[in-house]
Amino acid sequence: MSPKQLTGKKAQRLTIYIGESDKWRGKALYIALLETLRTQGMAGATVTRGLAGFGAHSVVRTASILALSTDLPLVIQVIDTEEKIDAALKIIAPMVGEGLITLDDVEVVKYTHRYLNPLPSDKLVSDVMTRKVVTLTDSMPVAEAWETMLKHLLKALPVLNARGEVVGMLTDEDLLERAGLEQRLSVAERLEKETLQAEIDALRASPLKAADVMTSPAITIRNDEPLGVAAARMAEHRIKRLPVLDEKGKLVGVLSRVDVLRQVVSEEAKKRAAKAPSGAARTLGDIMLPEIPTIREDAQLADVIARFLEAGTRRLIVVNGVGQPLGLISDADAVTRVQPGARRGVMQALRGRRNVPGEKIAASELMSGVVLSATPDMSLTEAARRMLSQKRKWIVVVDEDGKAVGLVDRQVLFKAMMHQA
């Protein structure tokens, strides 16, 4: 049973109480039981040797030096699915001539091992974080905050108060929702200067400050905490960046999702993965999302925008008539690849604020023609390496005919690396 099949699922715990001297066909019974359970494909089994105890004969057995027993109590525990436990019981029950077998329901919270966990969780955040941090102040006007994001091409920045304390995070989504900004950073960085300047001028008329629109309180991490704790926090809150604080609560860095994923594809991680037994590595097929936001190559702009809104995504996979991926369309593509006079209307349509402009342009003309794809058997570490090296946020999973069958984005990959997917 794989960790993917057990984690987060209802399972059963089989417990067998026997004596150390019990035999099965001339072999120690506990060894015979372990071998039988292994051949049945169980997820694992553990034998615990007791210090003392008594059984059906009421004879006290002890491991003390004064009365060393050769028949100490043993407990064997196995956890797996109900079906596999039931099948195993039919074989091992007759082997236990004297003893006790119990069965109870459990929930598997986490099931993994070192080869399925490529993240060096014991590293300190301070060893991985980005130390050079761009910040905003809580009294900064929203126009100035937006100009800072544009200058550094950063979608999320820590906000500090007059004492230098982190009081929030400001993202381009915050500015979209609360300050009247019309496009996110990924779109803005591809627009001409005149359009950007007009938006900045509009924001300058706003009385809003960073403190008025930021997300607060900020979710933070200490620099002396383990990387595994930080990664789990990021996965739990679905955030891409964590401000890093020292023991005095002062900002000393930022930990990003990319910072964490880089550790997964490090040389250290590669050496650990190379020791994995056959079949141990998790693959894209284990974690891929089956719901794929696709659009036909001949779809027109109105259909493309409608699909964006329906799927609630910022990217669409363009496919041909047999479902093979040809490219990707981002919301930035949809805005910047239409005529300049139609761009504002497309931006508003993507936000659901107005009808789609009547531009006649097909998905094949809007898309970027390169799509990162892989087969379901690709390992997660290799997928992370390719996504980072090619600076891609999506990887399309294709079958042997090249048809799109699944999708993995950085969030899904990140959670899988943390063993929460």
Of the pLDDT bands very low, low, confident and very high (cuts 50, 70, 90), residue 421 is very low
User: Which residue's entry shows tokens 């150390």?
Assistant: 20
pLDDT score recorded for residue 271: 66
Domains delineated in the chain: 3-111 (3.30.70.120), 125-264 (3.10.580.10), 284-417 (3.10.580.10)
Mean pLDDT on 363-378: 92
Q: Decide if pLDDT at 356 tops 90.
A: no
Q: Decide if pLDDT at 109 tops 80.
A: no
Q: What percent of the chain has pLDDT over 90?
A: 58
d(CA 419, CA 218): 25
d(CA 178, CA 366): 29
Please choose, from the candidates 135, 141, 152, the residue with its C-alpha nearest in 3D space to the C-alpha of residue 201.
141
Q: Decide if pLDDT at 278 tops 70.
A: no
Radius of gyration of the chain (CA): 29
d(CA 318, CA 367): 7
Q: Decide if pLDDT at 204 tops 90.
A: yes
SS3 235: helix
pLDDT score recorded for residue 173: 93
Q: What average pLDDT does the structure give for the chain?
A: 87
Strands of the sheet with 373-374, listed across from one edge: 373-374, 394-398, 404-409
pLDDT score recorded for residue 113: 54
Q: What is the pLDDT of residues 163-189, one digit of tens each?
A: 999 999 999 999 999 998 988 899 999
SS3 59: coil
Q: What is the pLDDT of residues 30-54, one digit of tens each?
A: 999 999 998 888 878 999 988 776 6
Structure tokens belonging to residue 163: 């004492």
Q: What percent of the chain has pLDDT over 70?
A: 87
Q: Decide if pLDDT at 59 tops 60.
A: no
253 or 119: whose pLDDT is higher? 253
Query: Poorest-confidence range of 42-46, 101-105, 121-125, 266-270?
Result: 266-270
186 or 63: whose pLDDT is higher? 186
105 Ramachandran zone, left/alpha/beta (phi>0; psi -120 to 50): beta
SS3 127: helix
Mean pLDDT on 184-203: 90
Query: Poorest-confidence range of 22-26, 114-118, 184-188, 301-305?
Result: 114-118
Q: Decide if pLDDT at 245 tops 90.
A: yes
363 or 358: whose pLDDT is higher? 363
Q: Decide if pLDDT at 82 tops 80.
A: yes
CA distances from 411 to 120, 132, 417 (A): 18, 24, 10
pTM greater than the 0.85 cutoff: no
4 or 147: whose pLDDT is higher? 147
